[in-house]
Amino acid sequence: MKIFDKILKAFTILILIFMYLPIVTMIGFSFNSSKSLGRFTGFSLRWYYQLFENRVIWTAFYNSLTSAAVVTIISVVLALLIANAVVRYEYRGGSLIDAFIYIPIVIPEITESLSLLILFGVAGITRGFWTVVLGHATFGATFAIVVLRARIAGFRKSVEEAARTLGANEIQTFFRITLPILMPGVIAAALLAFTLSFDDFIKTRFTTGPGFTTLPLIIYSSAKRGGVAPDINALSAFSFGVSLIFSAVRLFTLRRGRYE
């Protein structure tokens, strides 16, 4: 058994190296003093200075940030309502609705993106900021529901009943008792929805229109035009850092919620 344990550990390490070595290499070459992507000639912040002076990139960053923020708000509100209904109440057709909740997770993203593109075209909706938000919210809310559902399932209703016994109405009970207890799950769901929206490329590509570009689209178009430029390495490293921060906060809130 010890041999199998060692093989499993070695295999896991190889998988992690395969996954993260390209990212580490990309970040390393973003500090390269030359344009070479195959030889590191020296440490420099040249490409970051060039990145920060690029207005097109920062416009795309602002678009990614604002759309992800709106998606997060919509996803968390919908997730709170739906997860609360699914977990706490029994009703006819509940199992069917429960199955529909997981469809955006199960089906390929490109299939869902294409269906949204066709829908917007048939409805005559001009693609832009709000179509991107709607497209991202379809899967952002689903992932948020999964997180909040687990949190609500472990919620003790006796706490709410005690608050109602002491004279609190439903609204007061929700904001003073229920929501604070669910807050670790809410924060985790919000960070997950934000990260998914901020980094998404496929659905953004299908649902956006002229005049609205996000960071993933800028990275892809720049790499497609003339290969991966050093400033694109810097942009990718910056984007990865933002996602990493939110992912770390999400993991922290999830772990904290388990022990509360």
Over residues 183-202, the pLDDT tens digits come to 888 888 898 898 889 888 89
Determine the pLDDT at residue 68: 93
CATH superfamily for 47-258 is MetI-like (1.10.3720.10)
- The helix or strand, by DSSP H or E, that contains position 162, with its residue range, turns out to be helix 157-165
Determine the pLDDT at residue 175: 80
Q: Which residue has the higher pLDDT, 38 or 204?
A: 204
Q: Examine the pLDDT at 226 and tell me if it is beyond 70.
A: no
Q: Examine the pLDDT at 74 and tell me if it is beyond 90.
A: yes
Q: Examine the pLDDT at 134 and tell me if it is beyond 60.
A: yes
| 30 band by pLDDT with thresholds 50, 70 and 90 | confident
Q: What is the mean pLDDT of residues 29-35?
A: 76
Determine the pLDDT at residue 239: 74
| 66 band by pLDDT with thresholds 50, 70 and 90 | very high
Q: What is the mean pLDDT of residues 79-89?
A: 83
Tell me the one-letter amino acid at 107: I
Determine the pLDDT at residue 253: 66
Backbone angles phi, psi at 131, to 5 degrees: -70, -35
Q: Which two tokens stand for residue 149?
A: 């559902």
Q: Examine the pLDDT at 165 and tell me if it is beyond 80.
A: no
Determine the pLDDT at residue 48: 82
Length of the chain: 260
Q: Examine the pLDDT at 126 and tell me if it is beyond 60.
A: yes
Torsion of CA 235, 237, 240, 244, to 10 degrees: -140
C-alpha–C-alpha distance, residues 31 and 53, integer Å:
16
Q: Examine the pLDDT at 159 and tell me if it is beyond 60.
A: yes
C-alpha–C-alpha distance, residues 58 and 234, integer Å:
13
Q: Which two tokens stand for residue 7?
A: 């093989």
| 225 band by pLDDT with thresholds 50, 70 and 90 | low
